[in-house]
């Protein structure tokens, strides 16, 4: 029916009531679990299968996209799907089985409906109370996947409380179990080992860790960018084969940054990027700040009509840009799923002894870099933003500023 990896076989063969697929990045967890669910959907009739995600944008960027890929890969499987309701996100199979993709607002919401199979995608983004309500209403099996960047309710309850959860199997996978990605991609994930061992343990080995030392912590999810926010600029970082091209738009309002992801895609040529800009409604008078290490791409896009500016260079421009960003509250739109994922992983390098270095990872930065470019070019650095009312340390009484009461 389709090509599968070991993650698929192990998951399919598990007889446990709860199958936990813990793993590193790109191990094939989500893809394989969906293949397992498709297998059940064609082999068993009149099932209800629920795929639960933390919100709709994450479902669309994750499981729904993988589901489309799986269907594209198999004409036979496609012939077994009788309909897809895009608004409700429900697939119906010839067997009478339905597969719904849903997110739940709260516990109450999760109390509606029953199902035979439940897949909780990226479970560490879902509150335990909500999981409990969903899992209570499952007849056959619960499947869970996540990157173990910190211990959470799976470790604290599901894997340990034998009374509540008597039948649990833990499967740990990493990118080495996924034969469908390129050698370069494997090498890129392994490279983390030299940058931050803890991050490598989590994302390259799928072992439970504590990813700490995040560079940007003052991050919040918002639904929309406020209408009165002032546009600062677009930022773009050029990728190609393995690295995605990342592009976002940045606004300022009320002293806070508001950011929305626009592009996160591999394999884009400059003419492709230009077409994306047009489709996204970018205007030729709006500034796009780009990686200054790519003058050729900048010039090419300029010739295609876009207002391109190179990001400021200079020693310490990475640290300097991050330093500026750290002084702002950063609001990220909910639909910026890749940016949200990068912000949750982007941490400082560590040396062999685990001591934090004053240098960020060179990974998870395809959208963080463009954000940094906008900060470098458009926001003032700390030196320029001293509060205006601050007086000199040794005030000369003859200054006559009359601001004494403000001290
Ligand atoms: N059985 C498979 N057949 C084809 N491609 C696969 C298969 N398993 C994984 N992949 C590829 O690997 C990528 C990463 O898999 P994914 O399930 O998203 O990883 P994870 O959820 O572990 O981060 C998928 O987007 C897909 O391109
Ligand atoms: Mg996944």
Give the tens place of pLDDT for each residue, 201-222.
999 999 999 988 999 999 999 9
Range 178-189 average pLDDT: 96
Range 191-207 average pLDDT: 96
Q: Closest-lying ligand to the alpha carbon of 66?
A: 1
Query: Relative to the CA of 31, which ligand 1 atom is closest?
Result: 17
Q: Closest-lying ligand to the alpha carbon of 65?
A: 1
Range 312-319 average pLDDT: 90
User: Band of the pLDDT at 407, cuts 50, 70, 90?
Assistant: very low
Q: Closest-lying ligand to the alpha carbon of 69?
A: 1
Range 45-52 average pLDDT: 98
Residue 254, sorted as left (phi over 0), alpha (psi -120 to 50) or beta, turns out to be left
Q: Closest-lying ligand to the alpha carbon of 1?
A: 1
Query: Relative to the CA of 34, which ligand 1 atom is closest?
Result: 17
Ligand 2 center to 27 CA (angstroms)? 8
- Which of 166-175, 250-259, 309-318 is least confident? 309-318
pLDDT value for 400: 33
Nearest to residue 24, comparing CAs of 267, 266, 345, 353? 345
Query: Relative to the CA of 35, which ligand 1 atom is closest?
Result: 1
Ligand 2 center to 24 CA (angstroms)? 9
Domain with CATH 3.40.50.300 in the chain: 6-184
Q: Whose CA is nearest to atom 16 of ligand 1?
A: 28
Determine contact, residues 140/117, Cβ cutoff 8 Å: yes
Q: Which two tokens stand for residue 265?
A: 């895609």
Helix (H) or strand (E) holding 76: helix 75-79
Residue 393, pLDDT above cutoff 90: no
Range 367-377 average pLDDT: 98
Residue 395, pLDDT above cutoff 90: no
Determine contact, residues 378/257, Cβ cutoff 8 Å: no
Q: Whose CA is nearest to atom 6 of ligand 1?
A: 180
Residue 403, pLDDT above cutoff 70: no
Ligand 1 center to 29 CA (angstroms)? 7
Return d(Cα 244, Cα 188) in angstroms, integer.
13
Q: Closest-lying ligand to the alpha carbon of 23?
A: 1
Give the tens place of pLDDT for each residue, 330-358.
999 999 999 999 999 999 999 999 899 99
Q: Whose CA is nearest to atom 17 of ligand 1?
A: 28
pLDDT value for 1: 83
Give the tens place of pLDDT for each residue, 83-106.
999 999 999 999 999 999 999 999
The residues pairing with 290 across neighbouring beta strands, listed in sequence order, are: 236, 310
Range 101-128 average pLDDT: 96
- Which residues lie with the beta carbon below 6 Å from any ligand 1 atom? 3-5, 23, 25-32, 66, 178, 180-181
pLDDT value for 315: 82
Q: Which two tokens stand for residue 206?
A: 């799928």
Ligand 2 center to 338 CA (angstroms)? 12
Kindly calculate the radius of gyration of the chain based on its CA atoms and give it in whole angstroms: 24
Residue 391, pLDDT above cutoff 70: no
- Whole-prediction pTM: 0.90
Residue 388, pLDDT above cutoff 50: no
Ligand 1 center to 379 CA (angstroms)? 39
Residue 397, pLDDT above cutoff 90: no
Residue 21, pLDDT above cutoff 60: yes
pLDDT value for 382: 59
Ligand 2 center to 146 CA (angstroms)? 7
Mean pLDDT of the chain: 93
| CATH number for region 6-184 | 3.40.50.300
Residue 171, pLDDT above cutoff 60: yes
Residue range 219-382 in CATH 3.30.420.280: yes
Pairing of strands 138-146, 115-120: parallel
Ligand 1 pocket test, pick from 178, 179, 189 with the greatest ligand atom count within 8 Å of Cβ, gives 178
pLDDT value for 399: 37
pLDDT value for 255: 96
Q: How many C-beta atoms surround the C-beta of residue 7 within 10 A?
A: 26
Query: Relative to the CA of 25, which ligand 1 atom is closest?
Result: 23
Q: Which two tokens stand for residue 135?
A: 């899992």
pLDDT value for 386: 46
Ligand 1 pocket test, pick from 26, 244, 345 with the greatest ligand atom count within 8 Å of Cβ, gives 26
Query: Relative to the CA of 62, which ligand 1 atom is closest?
Result: 18
Ligand 1 pocket test, pick from 1, 24, 28, 123 with the greatest ligand atom count within 8 Å of Cβ, gives 28
User: Band of the pLDDT at 381, cuts 50, 70, 90?
Assistant: confident
Residue 59, pLDDT above cutoff 80: yes
Residue 250, sorted as left (phi over 0), alpha (psi -120 to 50) or beta, turns out to be beta
In 81-110, which positions are buried (b, 16+ CB within 10 angstroms) versus exposed (e)? beeeeeeebbbbbebebbbbbbbbeeeeeb
In the numeric block, the tokens 């070991």 are attached to 6
């Amino acid at each position: 029916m389709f090509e599968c990896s070991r993650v698929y076989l192990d998951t399919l063969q598990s007889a446990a009531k709860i199958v936990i697929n813990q793993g590193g990045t790109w191990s094939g967890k989500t893809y394989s679990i969906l293949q397992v669910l498709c297998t059940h959907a064609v082999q068993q009739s009149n099932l209800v299968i629920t795929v639960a995600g933390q919100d709709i944008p994450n479902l669309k960027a994750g499981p729904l996209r993988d589901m489309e890929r799986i269907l594209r890969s198999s004409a036979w499987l496609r012939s077994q799907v009788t309909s897809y309701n895009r608004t409700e996100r429900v697939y119906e199979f010839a067997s009478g089985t339905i597969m719904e993709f849903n997110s739940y607002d709260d516990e109450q919401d999760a109390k509606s409906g029953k199902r035979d199979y439940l897949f909780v995608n990226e479970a560490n983004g879902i509150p335990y109370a909500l999981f409990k309500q969903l899992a209570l209403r499952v007849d056959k099996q619960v499947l869970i996947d996540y990157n173990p960047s910190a211990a959470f309710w799976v470790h604290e309850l599901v894997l340990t409380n034998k009374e509540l959860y008597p039948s649990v199997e833990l499967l740990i996978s990493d990118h080495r179990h996924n034969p469908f990605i390129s050698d370069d991609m494997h090498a890129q994930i392994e490279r983390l080992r030299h940058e931050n061992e803890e991050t490598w343990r989590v994302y390259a080995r799928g072992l439970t860790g504590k990813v700490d030392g995040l560079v940007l912590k003052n991050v919040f999810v918002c639904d929309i960018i406020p209408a009165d926010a002032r546009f600062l600029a677009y930022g773009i970082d050029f990728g190609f084969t393995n690295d995605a091209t990342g592009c976002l738009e940045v606004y300022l309002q009320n002293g806070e940054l508001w950011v929305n992801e626009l592009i996160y895609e591999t394999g884009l040529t400059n003419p492709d990027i230009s077409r994306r800009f047009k489709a996204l409604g970018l205007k030729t008078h709006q500034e796009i700040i780009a990686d200054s290490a790519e003058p050729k791409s900048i010039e090419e896009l300029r010739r295609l009509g876009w207002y391109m500016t190179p990001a400021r260079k200079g020693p310490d421009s990475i640290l300097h840009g991050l330093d500026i960003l750290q002084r702002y509250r950063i609001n990220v739109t909910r639909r910026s799923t890749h940016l949200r994922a990068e912000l949750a992983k982007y941490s400082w390098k560590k040396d062999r002894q685990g001591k934090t270095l004053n240098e960020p990872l060179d990974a998870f930065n395809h959208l963080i870099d463009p954000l940094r470019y906008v900060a470098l070019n458009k926001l003032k650095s700390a030196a320029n933003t001293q509060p205006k009312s601050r007086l000199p340390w040794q005030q000369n009484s003859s200054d006559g500023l009359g601001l004494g009461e403000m001290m």
